[in-house]
Chains A and B, each alone.
Chain A
Amino acid sequence: MKEYRTINKIAGPLVFVEKTEPVAYGELVNIVLFDGTIKRGQVLDTSDELVVVQIFETTTGIGKDSGVRFTGETIKMPVGREMLGRILSGGGKPIDGGPEIVPEKRLDITGAAINPYARGMPADFIQTGISTIDGTNTLVRGQKLPIFSGAGLPHNNVALQIARQAKVPGSTESFAVVFAAMGITKEEANYFMQDFERTGALERAVVFLNLADDPAVERIITPRLALTTAEYLAFELGMHVLVILTDMTNYCEALRQIGAAREEVPGRRGYPGYMYTDLACIYERAGMIKGQKGSVTQIPILTMPGDDITHPIPDLTGYITEGQIVVNRELHRKGIYPPINVLPSLSRLMNLGIGKGHTREDHKKVSDQMYAGYAEGNDLRGLVAIVGKDALSERDRLLLEFADLFENRFVRQGYDEDRSIEDTLNLGWDLLSTLPVEQLTRIDRDLINKYHPKFKAGAKKV
């Protein structure tokens, strides 16, 4: 392989190389330092005169005297069954002291788009044991459902609780976890690893770790390596794979850094204009394929800068993913775990995975009614602060109490408390029965007669 020493400029993570053979767009590049260290990069722009290479590591040590080798192929990821139980760096190298991965296949990490015609419709209810998810924002297999959180909030616990408790009731199919950390602290990483070890989850997990002190630009490939692995496990080995990506905010920062180095016209808040498409190429790598067994379910975690849901990172994410679970600071301050605020949370695939034959026939309507009650009760809190409780009508007083009950009984649960969907829905009815039955306008009468604690015994009917 020919080695060029024609580096002309180095700017941030970009290296500009002159006068080369025709180099392919997207090609993998190795840069050889004077001491023999190899740094990897990828071609971003190629022409007769100039090739722009984006380096995935720090550019420390790269100089005009460094050698540049073009490998002639795009970046590939060696994958194999043996990856389960292994810990790899954010660049895909084993860091657990174990042997190199013996590849069964080498796959392009960009990943082609699933043909929409080939997709299978997600419909299998995943029970996470968390009421605010199962009851009101149901997760289904093949969905991409991010957690929107803020700095210092317990999103990691929520993610771990999901990873630990997630199951498809009545199914015994094999499943795996792919965990990709981008720019999180060593301490946070340890927290995840300890929990994986404590619960034995590590055996069926593949872990990619790009920590806070690892090169930022490596974060660009970490989620792609993780998803390539997940797709292999799912669509070639038929497993149901849960992918946790944390923290996507760090990924986006890296993306912004590269955009700035390329002197691109920046979009909102300095993030590149193509960030929507770039994120879509990550998040869309979830789903099922018609006639195949496996599935990829994604739970990306991101911290909203300044807790602002309109910040470009959560905003563009929300436009791509199939809903979001929002972790809320106020609930956290009140000491409620998991501090999930259901109002801005949403699962768009919920309707496909619930109801008769999936969970229970009353699921949707119970959920809608609880939302309506909680939303209204929550609004009234502002009013009470001004006019006092006494100025409220009876109806409003009950709604106000409902909002408190909802937070304290439905939202609040233990870190190891694994509620079945039956328990969650029955709890919902218990809370709704504190409201006058005429106020349950979202539920049809038949369901009220069947499930409402005051009517189901059969004596009274509405």
Chain B
Amino acid sequence: MEVKEKKTKEAKQGVLKRIAGPVVTAVNLDAHMYDVVKVGKEELMGEVIKIQGENVIIQVYEDTSGIRPGEPVSNTGLSLAAELGPGLLTSIYDGIQRPLAVLVDKMGNFIERGVSAPGLSHEKKWTFKPIAKVGQTVEPGTIIGEVQETNIVHKIMIPPNAKAGKVKVIRSGDFTVDETVCVLEDGREFPMIQRWPVRVPRPVKEKKNPTIPLITGQRILDGLFPIAKGGTAAIPGPFGSGKTVTQQQLAKWSDAEIVVYIGCGERGNEMTEVLTEFPHLEDPKSGKPLMERTVLIANTSNMPVAAREASVYTGITIAEYFRDMGYDVSLMADSTSRWAEAMREISSRLEEMPGEEGYPAYLAARLSEFYERAGLVTSLNGDPGSVSVIGAVSPPGGDFSEPVTQNTLRIVKVFWALDAKLSQRRHFPAINWLNSYSLYLEALQGYYDKEVSPEWNKIRSWAMEVLQKEAELQEIVQLVGSDALPEAEQVTIEVARMIREIFLQQNAYDSVDTFCDMTKQYDMMKAIKLFADLAYAAQLAGVSPAQINAVKSKGELPQIKFIKDYKPELAKIEKQMDTEFSALRSAA
């Protein structure tokens, strides 16, 4: 992110008084809250976070080693803003929107400091295709033109905070983001670029209730605990339980049009993995490389904490910008706990009164403000768009009773509870089917009825019941062994195992199983239900559970996961099931 000095006001130079890690104190500085300032001789970027008498307290986005009291501080008079315009897609940024690729060019393989780099290229020319007509009245949000950015069309809009006016000139051709493409009759000129303060939500006309699922291709998510487009979900879990893999699966396969992926205080290698993998993956629907719809933000755990705090805002602002164009955007934040910890660290350096577990008292407010920026909306120009937000939470010791998890659960509508017990036995995705929930089920029912099958909602409820029943039966089994159960319940145990092993388990690393469309999900569940129906009937006819478990076609069913064109094979297995069971029944 590059900040241009505001010219209107004479910037007064302040002086550094104290440096203690990422928080510094300046005096003699005219400042307002959240102004962006330049700290020290190296002009490190910082932001005003507290004003106390003479003292202006600043969080610095870069390492402060070597900075001394007495060095200058200057105020840009602007707040922390993202640059929005063509060039965002396929980019990878740090928490304050500096492109990491540009930083490699400027300072090599390691992140040094004192280098500013704009979020967008100001040299690159983009072909602008006008849409607005001369004489037309344009308002905030009006789309005045288009740029074919990747395979995505980037719509150029009148900024939300600009006043309406009539178009006097609209250009066509190749321009940089700074060059004027539209002039209004009152003389105002608009380039393609917009700057938007990241801590302020971009306005919309209306927020609506979601009714369409975000299809993720992950059976346990779509099938049991769906998230809606424009919805919010949290995925808490101890280390190694599958937060990142699940988030990456969503980034890859969810049917959003734009994906913003924030690596907030997590591992460097995970971002590299996305960078190396995504360009080679194709969107199952459009066949286009996934990278072309993706914006990455990587502020890894060892990068400055203040920039980590900002990364979440930078990400959501970019997401809102694409939403305003009418796109369905999904945003993944991995991990919101690291963001909360950054807040805690800054807060403790400010010597603020700590709330629960040392987190600042405003933790809950910040979390809900963030998730509130999700939603299905009618944008200023009347187009529908959405931002879905999926936040990972990393509770210390895997204990969900801690403040970040608890405050998040109060806000989000979908809860995917990861479970170390499942991940340890390599049941992936390790999402606990008994504790998780989705509050969108009812709102989405209509969609499933229409788009998947009128049977879908019934079969889903059936599966949930079997799983619930199994949990109860397992308590008995733990005491007396499974042979002591009535035979019908032994069949239930077996059917539940099939639901878990065949339907719920899904290998993210298998080239076929990694993505499973709704039709296949439905077909798989139907096949399990068929088995269950046949098995219960056989049991009533006197067939023993051992015989039922030995049915050969049952052993074949899991293979369906790994077959792309599974239909013929599935039909064969279902037929075989029928044959085997009739044989058993007549023998009994």
Residues of A within 8 A of B (CB): 22-27, 44-48, 73-74, 110-122, 142-143, 235, 264-268, 273-274, 276-277, 280-281, 284-285, 287, 289-290, 292, 310-312, 315-316, 318-320, 322-324, 343-344, 346, 348-349, 351-352, 364, 368, 371-372, 375-376, 382-383, 386-387, 391-396, 437-439, 441-442, 444-445
- Per-position 1/0 for B551-573, Cβ under 8 A of A: 01011001100100000000000
* CA of A80 to CA of B268, assembled, Å: 27
Known interface pairs A25-B67, A46-B19; A383-B481 also in contact (CB < 8 Å): yes
Any chain A CB within 8 A of the CB of B338?
yes
Contacts A115-B111, A343-B424 aside, 7 further interface pairs with beta carbons under 8 A come to A115-B109, A121-B272, A235-B109, A265-B358, A372-B427, A391-B481, A445-B559
A116 touches B399 (CB 8 A): no
Which of A48, A119, A268, A394 gathers the greatest number of chain B CB atoms within 10 Å? Answer: A119
Q: In the complex, which residues 86-116 of chain B have their Cβ closer than 8 Å to any Cβ of chain A?
A: 92, 100-101, 103-104, 108-112
- Per-position 1/0 for B294-324, Cβ under 8 A of A: 0000101111010000000000000000000
Any chain A CB within 8 A of the CB of B135?
no
A280 touches B101 (CB 8 A): no
Task: List the B residue with the shortest CB-CB distance to A23.
Answer: B68
Q: In the complex, which residues 408-467 of chain B have their Cβ closer than 8 Å to any Cβ of chain A?
A: 420, 423-427
* CA of A462 to CA of B337, assembled, Å: 48
A113 touches B426 (CB 8 A): no
B110 touches A25 (CB 8 A): no
* CA of A121 to CA of B555, assembled, Å: 38
| B138 CB to nearest chain A CB (Å) | 38
Task: List the A residue with the shortest CB-CB distance to B241.
Answer: A346
A375 surroundings in chain B (CB, below 8 A): 424-426
Known interface pairs A280-B301, A318-B239, A320-B301; A386-B479 also in contact (CB < 8 Å): yes
Name 22 interchain pairs, CB-CB below 8 A, sorted by A.
A24-B66, A44-B21, A47-B19, A73-B66, A111-B110, A113-B268, A116-B298, A118-B110, A119-B272, A121-B269, A143-B269, A268-B357, A273-B341, A273-B344, A273-B348, A277-B301, A277-B341, A280-B300, A280-B302, A281-B301, A284-B300, A392-B483
Task: List the B residue with the shortest CB-CB distance to A382.
Answer: B478
Known interface pairs A27-B66, A438-B552; A122-B269 also in contact (CB < 8 Å): yes
Q: In the complex, which residues 220-253 of chain B have their Cβ closer than 8 Å to any Cβ of chain A?
A: 238-240
Known interface pairs A265-B358, A268-B357, A444-B562; A284-B345 also in contact (CB < 8 Å): no
* CA of A442 to CA of B348, assembled, Å: 49
Q: In the complex, which residues 192-246 of chain B have their Cβ closer than 8 Å to any Cβ of chain A?
A: 238-240
Known interface pairs A276-B301, A391-B481; A47-B109 also in contact (CB < 8 Å): no
Q: In the complex, which residues 312-350 of chain B have their Cβ closer than 8 Å to any Cβ of chain A?
A: 338, 341, 344-345, 348
Residues of B within 8 A of A (CB): 17-21, 25, 63-71, 92, 100-101, 103-104, 108-112, 238-240, 263, 265, 267-269, 271-273, 275-276, 298, 300-303, 305, 338, 341, 344-345, 348, 354, 357-358, 394, 396-399, 420, 423-427, 477-484, 501-502, 507, 509, 546, 549, 552, 554-555, 558-559, 562
| A57 CB to nearest chain B CB (Å) | 21
Task: List the A residue with the shortest CB-CB distance to B301.
Answer: A280
B426 surroundings in chain A (CB, below 8 A): 368, 371-372, 375
Known interface pairs A45-B19, A267-B358, A391-B483; A273-B345 also in contact (CB < 8 Å): yes
A310 touches B399 (CB 8 A): yes
B479 touches A276 (CB 8 A): no
A118 touches B64 (CB 8 A): no
B397 touches A315 (CB 8 A): yes
* CA of A215 to CA of B167, assembled, Å: 73
* CA of A448 to CA of B480, assembled, Å: 35
B341 touches A276 (CB 8 A): yes
* CA of A409 to CA of B69, assembled, Å: 64
* CA of A383 to CA of B483, assembled, Å: 12
Task: List the B residue with the shortest CB-CB distance to A369.
Answer: B426
Contact of B358 among A122, A273, A344, A383 (CB under 8 A): A273
Task: List the B residue with the shortest CB-CB distance to A45.
Answer: B20
Contact of B240 among A111, A273, A324 (CB under 8 A): A324
Contact of A344 among B100, B397, B424 (CB under 8 A): B424
A142 surroundings in chain B (CB, below 8 A): 269
| B259 CB to nearest chain A CB (Å) | 17
A315 touches B396 (CB 8 A): yes
B345 touches A120 (CB 8 A): no
Task: List the A residue with the shortest CB-CB distance to B240.
Answer: A346
A387 touches B65 (CB 8 A): no
A45 touches B18 (CB 8 A): yes
A441 touches B302 (CB 8 A): no
Contact of B66 among A25, A289, A312 (CB under 8 A): A25
Task: List the A residue with the shortest CB-CB distance to B244.
Answer: A348
Known interface pairs A391-B484, A392-B481, A438-B555; A120-B69 also in contact (CB < 8 Å): no
B302 touches A47 (CB 8 A): no
Contact of A318 among B108, B240, B269 (CB under 8 A): B240
* CA of A266 to CA of B18, assembled, Å: 23
Overall SS of chain A's interface:
mixed
A117 touches B103 (CB 8 A): yes
A118 touches B68 (CB 8 A): no
Contact of A322 among B71, B267, B305, B479 (CB under 8 A): B267
A25 surroundings in chain B (CB, below 8 A): 19-21, 64-68
A364 surroundings in chain B (CB, below 8 A): 509
B509 touches A444 (CB 8 A): no
The 7 closest A-B pairs by CB, nearest first: A438-B555, A26-B65, A375-B425, A280-B301, A310-B397, A47-B18, A391-B481
Known interface pairs A26-B65, A46-B69, A315-B396; A444-B559 also in contact (CB < 8 Å): yes
| A161 CB to nearest chain B CB (Å) | 24
| B140 CB to nearest chain A CB (Å) | 35
Known interface pairs A22-B68, A24-B65, A324-B240; A114-B397 also in contact (CB < 8 Å): no
Task: List the A residue with the shortest CB-CB distance to B425.
Answer: A375
* CA of A421 to CA of B82, assembled, Å: 50
* CA of A285 to CA of B272, assembled, Å: 15
Task: List the B residue with the shortest CB-CB distance to A122.
Answer: B269
* CA of A389 to CA of B92, assembled, Å: 57
A265 touches B341 (CB 8 A): no
Which of A118, A142, A371 gathers the greatest number of chain B CB atoms within 10 Å? Answer: A118
B357 surroundings in chain A (CB, below 8 A): 267-268
B559 touches A22 (CB 8 A): no
A116 touches B19 (CB 8 A): no
* CA of A311 to CA of B205, assembled, Å: 48
Task: List the A residue with the shortest CB-CB distance to B428.
Answer: A368
A45 surroundings in chain B (CB, below 8 A): 18-20
Task: List the A residue with the shortest CB-CB distance to B481.
Answer: A391
A344 surroundings in chain B (CB, below 8 A): 420, 424
Contact of A319 among B70, B110, B394 (CB under 8 A): B394
Task: List the B residue with the shortest CB-CB distance to A391.
Answer: B481
Known interface pairs A25-B65, A391-B484; A117-B18 also in contact (CB < 8 Å): no
| B569 CB to nearest chain A CB (Å) | 11
A292 surroundings in chain B (CB, below 8 A): 109
B555 surroundings in chain A (CB, below 8 A): 437-439, 441
A394 surroundings in chain B (CB, below 8 A): 546
Known interface pairs A47-B25, A119-B272; A24-B103 also in contact (CB < 8 Å): no
B272 touches A319 (CB 8 A): no
Which of B68, B338, B397, B481 gathers the greatest number of chain A CB atoms within 10 Å? Answer: B481
| B56 CB to nearest chain A CB (Å) | 14
* CA of A116 to CA of B272, assembled, Å: 6
Task: List the A residue with the shortest CB-CB distance to B296.
Answer: A116
* CA of A116 to CA of B396, assembled, Å: 26
B424 surroundings in chain A (CB, below 8 A): 343-344, 375
B104 surroundings in chain A (CB, below 8 A): 115, 117-118
* CA of A143 to CA of B263, assembled, Å: 18
* CA of A119 to CA of B338, assembled, Å: 22
* CA of A115 to CA of B302, assembled, Å: 10
* CA of A343 to CA of B422, assembled, Å: 10
A115 touches B100 (CB 8 A): yes
Known interface pairs A280-B301, A324-B240; A349-B269 also in contact (CB < 8 Å): yes
